[in-house]
Structure 1
Amino acid sequence: MSEAVETQDQDAEVGGIAADRLRSIIERVERLEEERKALADDIKDIFAEAKSAGFEVKVIRQIIRIRKQEPAEVEEQETLLDLYRRALGM
């Protein structure tokens, strides 16, 4: 009976690594990667829908990026952009 317990302990911990814990972590990451791919596919479909509706996808991506920023940061960038345009006579 003690041999069976030793075999279970060896299966659960190999080289100081808890195999069950490691397997659990790897499986959770794999599941999340699958979810991320599914979400990326959904986002791609939404952009395709926007394009087919006549929207400019490049501009939509730009708006999304801007909305993630702090208002002060956006204002600073817009001010600099305006300054640079005026400096170039645009």
Structure 2
Amino acid sequence: MKSEGVQVANDHLRSFIERIERLEEDKKTIADDIKDVYGEAKATGFDTRILRKVIAIRKQDASARAEQEAVLDSYLAALGMIESDGGEA
């Protein structure tokens, strides 16, 4: 027969496993819902690649986003793809 301490540990373990399994099921449901929304957006004519980029940008804090945009602009300017602050293309 198992000791009481072992049984409590086993019960805790089972509880953790079952909670994680439920959350994994919820996560799959949510992922499917997100996929459906992207499908609706695509059917309406929106570019889902751009939507994903917008979502990623909105997740960033303002300073990280500004820094990333500044670096991107400097790279694009160096490649002649946009005008730099100096007015040259």
- TM tier, smaller: 0.7 to 0.9
How big is the shift at 1:60?
0.5
Q: Which has the higher strand share?
A: 1
For residue 55 of structure 1, give the secondary structure of its aligned residue in structure 2: coil
Scaled by the length of structure 1, the TM-score of the pair is 0.81
- Greater CA radius of gyration, 1 or 2? 1
Alignment pair present for 1:83 and 2:78: no
Higher relative contact order (CA 8 A, sep 6+): 2
Aligned partners of 1:22 and 1:72: how far apart in 2? 42
Partner of residue 59 from structure 2, selected from 39, 51, 68 = 68
How many residues align? The count is 80
Q: Identify the residue that residue 19 of structure 1 maps to in structure 2.
A: 10
Q: Which runs of 5 or more residues in structure 1 are unaligned?
A: 1-6
Runs of 4+ in 1 over 6 A off after TM superposition: none
Q: Which runs of 5 or more residues in structure 2 are unaligned?
A: 82-89
CA-atom RMSD in angstroms: 1.6
Aligned partners of 1:39 and 1:28: how far apart in 2? 16
